[in-house]
Amino acid sequence: MEVHHHPHVPTHAKPWKEYLLEGLMIFVAVTLGYGAENVREHYVETKKALISAKNLYVDVINDSIGYANTIKSRDKQDSCFEIINAYYNNNELDKEIPSVYAAHSYMTRRILYQMNSLALDEVKNSGTLKFLESDELKATIQRYASLGSGLKLREQREFSYIDKMLDPISINNFKFNFLRVGGDNFKIDSNKIVITIPVPDNLKMIKKDQLDWDNYIAILGMLQTIRESTNTSYILKTQAQCHALLTLLRNYLIKHDALENNH
């Protein structure tokens, strides 16, 4: 005859303190797990932000060089205009045709550096910005980024003016072969344009009788005015903000021991 043993089922309820303790342990475990996940996520995102800051630092260094080179080149364009304008005022343009070629070639170049936007957009649009541990750095990044659209608008303004007003003169009144090389082969010495390559003996203005020097100088003068406005209101301001951002990024990377030795 088989004997069946029934499992023991407690018939008495657990003390309420035991339920409370179990609930508390579960709550603590869940909280600790959630907290650990948050810490891990914050650590990962902070590391990503540091990598983004390093990439941005490289771009801003290149921006700084770009603005400096742009200003140097545009200063040379300014000097070319002043020299050509002086020739005009002294009725000497006809005697300085090689200089007119060189100056015209250089003045009609599209020279306006645009900031690198790849790393900047990544920092702004990926949510990385909030994980940078410096409110001043965040604000400076945003201020710098906001200047990019202004530079693009000025580029359109200047280049469109050259397209419409000066390119037709380049095509109709200058011999292309020397115009093409003239802007790369001269220097400015004692407020004079000095050509550093041989000048063709027969170099002249095409359709000279149709070229209105008064109108030509007025067109160049207007371009000069546009450039001066761009320099003062856009390039120099963007360059100053670039330098401020560069300093903050460098200090941030040094603080987090993330600055490459070659910088």
The pTM for the full model equals 0.81
Cα distances (angstroms) measured from residue 78 to each of 11, 111, 221, 242, 260: 99, 12, 10, 24, 38
Confidence of residue 261 (pLDDT cuts 50, 70, 90): low
The whole-number average pLDDT for the span 172-177 is 95
85-103, pLDDT tens digit by residue?
999 999 999 999 999 999 9
What is the pLDDT, as a whole number, of residue 128?
82
Reading phi first (left if > 0) and then psi (alpha if -120 to 50, else beta), residue 15 is in beta
pLDDT over 70 at 12, yes or no: no
What is the pLDDT, as a whole number, of residue 66?
98
Closest to 158 in 3D by CA, of 56, 85, 233, 66: 233
Which of 41-55, 116-130, 141-155 has maximum average pLDDT? 141-155
pLDDT over 50 at 39, yes or no: no
pLDDT over 60 at 60, yes or no: yes
pLDDT over 80 at 25, yes or no: no
User: For the ranges 17-26, 100-109, 251-260, which has the lowest average pLDDT?
Assistant: 17-26
Confidence of residue 47 (pLDDT cuts 50, 70, 90): confident
Partners of 194 in beta bridges: 187
135-172, pLDDT tens digit by residue?
999 999 999 999 999 999 999 999 999 999 999 999 99
What is the pLDDT, as a whole number, of residue 40?
47
Is 199 in a helix, a strand, or coil?
coil
C-beta atoms surrounding 215 within 10 Å: 11
200-249, pLDDT tens digit by residue?
988 999 998 889 999 999 999 999 999 999 999 999 999 999 999 999 99
The CA-CA-CA angle for residues 249, 241, 255, to 5°, reads: 15
189-206, pLDDT tens digit by residue?
999 999 999 999 889 999
> 47 versus 140: which is more confidently predicted?
140
